[in-house]
Amino acid sequence: MLTKKQRDMLTLIIHHVEEYGIAPSFEELCAAAGLKSKSGIHRIMSALEERGYIARLHNRARAVDILRHPDGSAYVQSAAMVSIPDASLAPAPDNTTTVIDIPLLGKIAAGTPIAAISDQSNTMPIPEHMLGRGEYFALIIEGDSMIDAGIMDGDTVIIEKGDTAQNGDIVVALLEEDDEATLKRLRRKSYSIALEPANSKYETRIFGPDQVKIQGTLKGLIRQY
């Protein structure tokens, strides 16, 4: 039996996961619950975990698996797919199992940039209903600079190919001077481009508009447990 605070907190977490595809941060929970201290959030989260309503990976930000609804019934969700919200990736209403092979181009850094992606030899099967009409490719994440956006080391990200992006999108950015690629959040500031991490251990990097080439935008990710 949950207390009212525990029930309300679990409901907040479920709504956030179903809307955004990732669990809320402690800061977001504090704001949503009207609390000033993270310690209160921590106590409620620990109680939910002890009672078997959630499971947490304590060394990873936002890593929460919902196990039960507030009424105690089982919470059903995919253990392998965590999607970034996007209408083009919404599950189809039917149960089609048609898959499309998209290029798996190797690893990309979510940390210090690594050599530019270039491996064209492998492919990855993706359910057709997860993809829109664009051109897609997949990359394996290496590093932890985007963990607060729910993107972990070892995840596979699904990228829609394109050379433009909206301010605030998570993008694959090619740093042309060093021929390196990285996954970061894009911020345009006046005549410069900022590539923002989602981990306080890393600094935002600023480039001139001619130093960064957008390769595509993040549309989803796959995580194996």
Q: Which residues are marked as active site?
A: 145, 184
Q: How far apart are CA 211 and CA 173, in angstroms?
A: 10
3-state helix, strand, coil split of the chain in percent (to 5) is 20, 35, 45
Q: What count of other Cβ atoms lies within 10 Å of the Cβ of residue 125?
A: 12
Strands (E), the chain: 54-56, 64-66, 81-82, 99-109, 114-115, 122-127, 136-142, 156-161, 170-175, 180-189, 192-196, 205-207, 212-222
Contact 17, 23 (CB under 8 A): yes
Query: Which pair of structure tokens corresponds to residue 205?
Result: 């990097």
Q: How far apart are CA 109 and CA 139, in angstroms?
A: 10
Query: Which pair of structure tokens corresponds to residue 130?
Result: 């997860």
Q: How far apart are CA 74 and CA 68, in angstroms?
A: 4
Look at strands 81-82 and 212-222 and give their pairing. Answer: antiparallel
